[in-house]
Chain A
Amino acid sequence: MPITYTSQEQVEVYRFSAPAAILIPLVALFLQAFVPLRFPFFAIFDLPLLVTIFFAVVRRSPVTGLLTGSVIGLLQDSLTHNPIGLYGIAKTVVGYGASSLGVRLDVENAGARLLLTLFFYMVHEIVYFTVGRGLVGLTAHPSWTYELGAAFANAVLAVLLFAALDKFKQRT
């Protein structure tokens, strides 16, 4: 069973240095905007979402998690042509949810991270399309088969990415 219920005392809380906290989301945004130009298949990944989930589960603070998600989402919105706030709202919800779950569950192992990312990717897409169609009037129709495939691809990448980002963690 990869996800195990843990008591509050057993959970370790980490923090990040200021440069890491600022640069990691920015690099994720940069790569998300640049790499698909050379490798179009890369557009299936959502690096800013993975970074949001990672920061949220490691810090284990809902307020910090939702604020991180909100900022990263708004920055990602700024690069698109859609109204600012769509990714912001979706990533705020994901940041809050992932950090709330991180408080209760041990999400340090690879299996837990895979399932967590799979779940929150779908949550992210559902919130995005709901807000987009309900509030902004976007005509986007998601293909759920495609979204499921994308969720799995992101989950696999998340396992690798989280392992790399673990090096930036600092114990509180």
Chain B
Amino acid sequence: MENLISRYRNVTVLVAILFAQVLGLAVQVKRSGENESTRLIRVWVVNAITPFEKGLVGLQNGAGNLWRNYFYLRGVRQENHQLRQEIEHLRLEQVRLNEDAEQARRLQALLGFKEQFISQTVPAQVIGSSGSEQSRSIYIDKGSHDGIKQDMAVITADGVIGKVLRVFVTTSQVLLIDDQTSGVGAILEKSRLQGVLRGTPAGEIVLEKVAADETIQPGEKVLTSGGDQVFPKGLPVGTVTKVSTGADLFLNVRVKPAANLSKLEEVLVITKNEERMPSVAGMGSSRGVDILAQRLPSVPEKTAEAPKKQSPASAAGIPQLGTNKGKAQPTGINPKPMESTATPGVVHAPTIIAGPRDVTKPASGNPTVKSPGIKSADTAIIKPATQQKTVPLPMKVSEKITKPAASTPKPPPNPSAPNQSGASQPTNQPATQPAVPPQDQTAPQENKPQ
């Protein structure tokens, strides 16, 4: 026996080494269902490799920052100008979104829904990868020392990228969503179909478990559904690129990830994700029925009355606010104003549309223009849903617009009506139809500058 082993020494060692590794694999597979602790060899290797990666990334960033921040400043002035314009646009959009969010919160409170939001994140730098196509994972420079825990969601400004798989003291391993072993609960933005996102061997992402009889259009956005208890609901994941019939009566939906997974530098780890009942403190006396009714389309009243009630302002071509009742309304426009959020006698600018080159064109057809250029969030532009024709010069709406008493539906007082950005806060958003985008939902109403 001894001679046999010494004669076939190489093969014996090979078999012994392979046997030991197979045994090790078997032990790991058996334990994989349990709460697996990190293997010591992983800790050693990660601790040996990541300090160098951290150092190199730091050096690279330092040199890059030095060059970009102190030497290479070409085009910064122009970029600054563009960014300022973008900020102004975003401010306007924020005002509108705040209003929508307020309304959503009130509805959630009325319907007893819990609201979920990201309350704490930890920024982290990507310092390394697994280096293997069979394991699409990255390493970040934050670990248990920074409050990172297993199964925390990792995102970028563009969308989700993965979840924390293993946590070391100063580093963590993140499993990317394009790995074959990952799974993300997802929902399609428009069709509201749910499925599971998985990676393919080629590094693509597919949405699984969508029945073949459903219709999905390429270009539709994919969001997290929150069903996996890892990713908060509503985060962008990607866009549908191709839909084909797959196996087992399911569709094969290919998704292009929102974030560039092959070039990740900085990420955010969601360390706290709160869920609470929305505050009803600012709801006033509004009833759920009223709020819901304002969202629903209503039957337009007789068109014959419209000319009789037309105000001088309307005749002059000025868009009218607050005089929708009894006036001809185009199909799809709800004439009811937002009574619950309106201050009696005062109507703020309706839905604000960002864009310095938009102009309001009222139903009468005469566009009213004012001085070009938007200087601040106080300068609002209204755009009625009836006609969305764009002409070169924008219209500026006064900060507060009072409605004539005769034509104004008297809303109940609401002390909580939001007015965050000064007088131009659009607290009286006309009722809308769900199919119409928010910026196109403003009905022309009678107005009178204060």
B10 and A34 form a contact (CB under 8 A): no
Q: Determine which residue in A67, A137, A140 has the highest number of CB atoms from chain B within 10 A of its CB, and name it.
A: A140
How does the 8 Å CB contact mask read for A18-37 relative to B, with 1 for contact and 0 for none?
Answer: 00000000100110111011
B53 and A81 form a contact (CB under 8 A): no
Bound: A135/B42 CA distance, A? 20
B24 and A84 form a contact (CB under 8 A): yes
B135 and A81 form a contact (CB under 8 A): yes
Q: Which residues of B contact A62 (CB under 8 A)?
A: 10, 13-14
B173 and A32 form a contact (CB under 8 A): no
Contact segment of B15-23, B97-105, B321-329: B15-23
Bound: A141/B25 CA distance, A? 20
Interface positions of B from 282 to 341, Cβ below 8 Å from A: none
B45 interface contact, C-beta 8 A:
yes
Closest Cβ–Cβ distance, residue B61 to chain A (whole Å): 12
Q: Which residue of A lies closest to B48 (CB)?
A: A26
Closest Cβ–Cβ distance, residue B144 to chain A (whole Å): 17
Q: Which residue of B lies closest to A62 (CB)?
A: B10
A33 and B129 form a contact (CB under 8 A): yes
Closest Cβ–Cβ distance, residue B231 to chain A (whole Å): 18
Q: State whether A30 and B49 are in contact (beta carbons under 8 Å apart), knowing that A80-B134, A100-B10 are contacts in the complex.
A: yes
Q: Which residues of B contact A156 (CB under 8 A)?
A: none
B388 interface contact, C-beta 8 A:
no
Bound: A142/B132 CA distance, A? 13
Which residues of A are interface residues toward B (Cβ below 8 A)?
A: 26, 29-30, 32-34, 36-37, 40, 43-44, 62-63, 66-67, 70, 74-76, 78-89, 92-93, 96, 100, 128, 131-132, 135-143, 146
Q: Which residues of B contact A89 (CB under 8 A)?
A: 18, 21-22, 25
A83 and B28 form a contact (CB under 8 A): yes
Q: Determine which residue in A32, A67, A84 has the highest number of CB atoms from chain B within 10 A of its CB, and name it.
A: A84
Contacting residue for A74 out of B41, B52, B53, B132, CB 8 A: B41
Q: Which residues of A contact B18 (CB under 8 A)?
A: 89, 92-93
B92 interface contact, C-beta 8 A:
no
Closest Cβ–Cβ distance, residue A10 to chain B (whole Å): 20
B53 and A140 form a contact (CB under 8 A): no
How does the 8 Å CB contact mask read for B134-146 relative to A, with 1 for contact and 0 for none?
Answer: 1101110000000
Q: List 26 A-B contacts (CB under 8 A).
A: A30-B53, A33-B129, A37-B138, A37-B264, A44-B133, A67-B13, A75-B41, A80-B135, A81-B130, A81-B137, A81-B181, A82-B134, A82-B135, A83-B25, A83-B29, A83-B32, A84-B42, A85-B21, A85-B24, A88-B21, A89-B18, A100-B10, A128-B134, A135-B26, A135-B29, A136-B28
Q: Which residues of B contact A80 (CB under 8 A)?
A: 130-132, 134-135, 137
Q: State whether A81 and B131 are in contact (beta carbons under 8 Å apart), knowing that A66-B13, A86-B25, A92-B18 are contacts in the complex.
A: no
Main secondary structure of the interface of A (DSSP, over half): helix
Q: State whether A37 and B180 are in contact (beta carbons under 8 Å apart), knowing that A44-B133, A79-B49 are contacts in the complex.
A: no
Q: Which residues of A contact B25 (CB under 8 A)?
A: 83-86, 89, 131, 135-136
B41 and A85 form a contact (CB under 8 A): no
Q: State whether A78 and B41 are in contact (beta carbons under 8 Å apart), knowing that A40-B263, A89-B22 are contacts in the complex.
A: yes
Count how many chain B residues have C-beta atoms less than 8 Å from C-beta atoms of the other chain.
50
Bound: A131/B131 CA distance, A? 19
The 5 closest A-B pairs by CB, nearest first: A80-B135, A32-B131, A78-B45, A40-B262, A62-B10
11 further A-B contacts with Cβ under 8 Å, apart from A85-B24, A96-B10, are A30-B49, A33-B130, A34-B128, A43-B132, A66-B14, A78-B41, A79-B130, A81-B166, A85-B25, A93-B14, A136-B29
Q: Which residue of B lies closest to A139 (CB)?
A: B180
How does the 8 Å CB contact mask read for B146-179 relative to A, with 1 for contact and 0 for none?
Answer: 0000000000000000000110000001010001
B9 interface contact, C-beta 8 A:
yes
Q: Which residues of A contact B44 (CB under 8 A)?
A: 78
B13 and A63 form a contact (CB under 8 A): yes
Closest Cβ–Cβ distance, residue A128 to chain B (whole Å): 7
B14 and A92 form a contact (CB under 8 A): yes
Q: Which residues of A contact B10 (CB under 8 A)?
A: 62-63, 66, 96, 100
Closest Cβ–Cβ distance, residue A83 to chain B (whole Å): 4
Q: Which residue of B lies closest to A37 (CB)?
A: B129
Closest Cβ–Cβ distance, residue B224 to chain A (whole Å): 21
B347 interface contact, C-beta 8 A:
no
A70 and B17 form a contact (CB under 8 A): yes
Bound: A87/B131 CA distance, A? 12
Q: State whether A84 and B133 are in contact (beta carbons under 8 Å apart), knowing that A26-B48, A78-B41 are contacts in the complex.
A: no
Q: Which residues of B contact A128 (CB under 8 A)?
A: 134
Closest Cβ–Cβ distance, residue A153 to chain B (whole Å): 12
Q: Which residues of B contact A34 (CB under 8 A)?
A: 52-53, 56, 127-129, 131
Bound: A112/B125 CA distance, A? 42
Bound: A96/B166 CA distance, A? 32
Q: Which residue of A lies closest to B16 (CB)?
A: A66
Q: Which residues of B contact A143 (CB under 8 A)?
A: 201-202
Closest Cβ–Cβ distance, residue B175 to chain A (whole Å): 6
Closest Cβ–Cβ distance, residue B37 to chain A (whole Å): 13
Bound: A15/B165 CA distance, A? 40
A84 and B14 form a contact (CB under 8 A): no
Closest Cβ–Cβ distance, residue A30 to chain B (whole Å): 6
B14 and A37 form a contact (CB under 8 A): no
B45 and A79 form a contact (CB under 8 A): yes
Bound: A36/B261 CA distance, A? 11
Closest Cβ–Cβ distance, residue A96 to chain B (whole Å): 5
B52 and A30 form a contact (CB under 8 A): yes
Closest Cβ–Cβ distance, residue B183 to chain A (whole Å): 11
B417 interface contact, C-beta 8 A:
no
B276 interface contact, C-beta 8 A:
no
